[in-house]
Amino acid sequence: MALKVGDRAPDFELPAVQGEERLNFRLSDYRGKKDVVVTFHPLDWTPTCESQLPILDSMEAKFAAAGGQLLDISVDSIESHLAWQKKEIGMMRFPLCSDFYPHGEVTRKFDILRDEPPVPGISERAAFIVDKEGVIRFARVYPIDRLPDLDGLLEELRKVRNSES
């Protein structure tokens, strides 16, 4: 069962790309500074995911205006993220993190690594909002073959921000 509202988010550091820039994303770097919107997509190069990421990218400024740092995680490699951006989805303006090795370690900590078909070893499609204190304030697992409600996710971030002020 996925982590839930009120749980402390596991700290993590993952390699990432933001557009073509390689970086490391560490959740604890945002402690006390920003809420972090952590989304998980199951797999690069799949139809639903190739719709989800460009929509998130188009909303990046809205998430930032609501006080959030947006990022996405999958079990794909950095090289896959780079190629996928260049050939399919365009360059993202937020970090795409690679939970490739050790395989699915962060995904497992959020308790959303799939063990069953259709593809064991990938993440569920999920979203979490981690507040400035490192506590999960929103958690949802979506059907793997459906786009998450990204407008609803933005609204949840605004609620978190309003409750903090």
> Can you tell me the distance from the alpha carbon of 110 to that of 126, in angstroms, rounded to the nearest whole number?
10
Q: Cis link prior to 102 (omega < 30° from 0)?
A: yes
Residue 165 has pLDDT above 80, yes or no: no
Fold classification of 13-164 is Glutaredoxin (3.40.30)
Residue 117: per-residue pLDDT: 83
- Active site positions, annotated: 49
Whether pTM > 0.85 for this model: the answer is: yes
Residue 2 has pLDDT above 90, yes or no: no
Q: What is the mean pLDDT of residues 102-127?
A: 94
Q: Which of 151, 104, 158, 111 is nearest to 131 (CA)?
A: 158
> Can you tell me the distance from the alpha carbon of 105 to that of 85, in angstroms, rounded to the nearest whole number?
23
Average pLDDT, the chain: 96
Q: Is 33:141 a contact under the CB 8 Å cutoff?
A: no
Residue 1: per-residue pLDDT: 73
